[in-house]
Structure 1
Amino acid sequence: MFVYELRFECFADTTITAAEKAINNLLEAYRANGQVLGREFAVAFNDGEFKVRLLLPEQTSIHKRHNSPWGNKALEQLTEAKLLAPREKYIGQDINSEASTIETPSWQVLYTSFVHMCSPLRSGDNLLPIPLYQIPATFNGDHKRIIKWQSEWQACDELQMAAATKAEYAALNEMVSVDSDLFRRGWDLRGRIEYLTHIPTYYYLYRVGGESLAQEMNRACPKCGSTEWKLDEPLLDLFHFQCQSCRIVSNISWDHQ
């Protein structure tokens, strides 16, 4: 991933409020389409221009060809706020994040965690993230629903990893149960992505608990009940189960690894 700085110059008198609204609208449009990563963006004002540093999946992530309709409209609204189109400055490659895949995968998976800022859509060949703007818009011209699902999954993951409140159990249930709202929304998004890309797309179902390793090795797919989803060798050293009909991958319980 790559760090870029965007600079917004004023071409006429404006106000901080108008500029802030226009810039933040553009950044949210980029985020909803997977063109920038993260949740918070510090916008600084100095010497008559606004600056913001962003983490991008690729060096071309904010090129206009990747924009959603919202992103194109947000660029036009900069003019109304008396701002010029942003100038890009390459800062460097981020050393703490993963590189995006550059090859079309043979299969893909929705997989994330609370420590990951990258796209939740991963290549099934190498688990590298696939920038969301590289696939057709999932709903309403962008990928806002996928970003929202990712934020919810990460919030649940952080709660269960902290293990400090009763909320841990409710959060964990959302992650491990095929009857949860989190699973239902994510699994439906998975299906939408597969339909649009024509690439087999799986949902990662988190697994923890279980009475014993022997029980784990013989557990059935929680959606269809198949007992034939256990793999001889784990995929990507992570997924020990794969149900091709339900499009679910899962792990042996972390308590027994």
Structure 2
Amino acid sequence: MKWQGRRGSRNIEDRRRMSVGKTAGVGGIGALVIVLIGAFMGVDVSSLLNNPTISGGQIQTGAGGELTEADKRAGQFVSVTLADTEEIWDSIFREQVGKPYKPVTLVLFKGATQSACGGANGATGPFYCPGDKKVFLDTAFFSTLARQMGAKGDFAAAYVVAHEVAHHVQDELGILSKANQIRRQVSTEKSNAISVRIELQADCYSGIWARHAKERFGSIERGDIAEAMNAAKQIGDDTLQRNAGRRVMPHTFTHGTSEQRQRWFRTGFESGDLATCDTFGTDNL
């Protein structure tokens, strides 16, 4: 992915030099188990941490420390990727939605921080918090993605950023609030099924972003789409459960299978059209 020397975003909130520390008050043993699962599997558990019954969201502070060269490079990379999403989604909203796009703020943190959805740390993985309309990202997750999960490459990391921004797009379109409202009123299994549709649509929107990035910026190089597809594969619920030595349990899925995540990303990439990403109106996920 060609990103060095390109324009960065002004909507970065860099908290990496701020005091950070371990999360506290996240609701006892149940929340601790959730965080440990997230740490082991590298999955986004923000939707669970956002649940007021298990999320206290208090943070104990400690020393933030200096930024390494790797930290600085990762911050620059995220800033450029975010800037690309801003320009692309602004264009798509004007052409396909008929209204302007309001860019999301992306919070970079190191160790732990606070969000309107509760405490955030490296175990939660990157996530979008609709409470404050911000994406939260500890760039150390990129190393986890590459080294522990086998999803290497700049574009694999860009896919992660684009996926979280896509949740903000869903929020701007009114999709996320409606879906989450229904999730609060149904059983856990049905709530999980709705979560899968939310996540697969975000994958599809990520594909739309990738297509437009290729056309508008020429930033996508040979092999980049394969990196994104591999990342989608590695973070499919079935793959994560198998790699964790667990039995695959579809009723617990919250993000979709590897095949589904790859297919919906490809759908968005091939079409570039929001209408093709209606995961809520199809029985063929």
User: Which TM-score applies when normalising by structure 1?
Assistant: 0.30
| Larger fraction in strand | 1
Structure with the larger RCO, 1 or 2 (CA within 8 Å, 6+ apart): 2
User: Which TM-score applies when normalising by structure 2?
Assistant: 0.28
Greater gyration radius: 1
| Larger fraction in helix | 2
